[in-house]
Structure 1
Amino acid sequence: MNPIWLLRMAKWAHHPPSVKRVILVFAVIALALLIAGIQWMGWWPDWATSERVPRRF
């Protein structure tokens, strides 16, 4: 493990993030899971799906 990560963990232990930040992170994760679930079930609209553009060399 990189020592930088140990310092970062110590910083988080001494100064944890605020409740608002934790709620924001969980809300973003929930939104991403919701979008992935909608797409997996096939309910995602075609107009919101991007198409791959072929690369030219």
Structure 2
Amino acid sequence: MDPLTRVLIRMAQWLRHPPSRRTVQIIVVVLVVATVLVLVEKFIGWPDWATTERVPMRRM
């Protein structure tokens, strides 16, 4: 099944059986937080303290 068909089926299921208000609120909050993080990274830049560095693995 291709991805577009899955999305359309999921949308139809949501229309027939809408999620609770609490579930919708959680989804909206997650989307807002993700959008804010993307915008901060794009326009301001990611802070050095939040960047991880690769640690070389020791060979045995």
TM-score category, normalised to shorter length: 0.5 to 0.7
C-alpha displacement at 1:41, in angstroms?
1.6
Amino acid at match of 2:46: W
Question: How many residue pairs are counted as aligned between the two chains?
Answer: 52
Which sections of structure 1, spanning at least 5 residues, go unmatched? none
How far does residue 15 in structure 1 lie from its aligned partner after superposition? 1.8
**TM value normalised by structure 2:** 0.58
CA gap of 1:5–1:48, structure 2 versus 1, over 3 A, is closer
> Gaps spanning 5+ residues in structure 2: where?
none
Q: CA RMSD in A?
A: 2.8
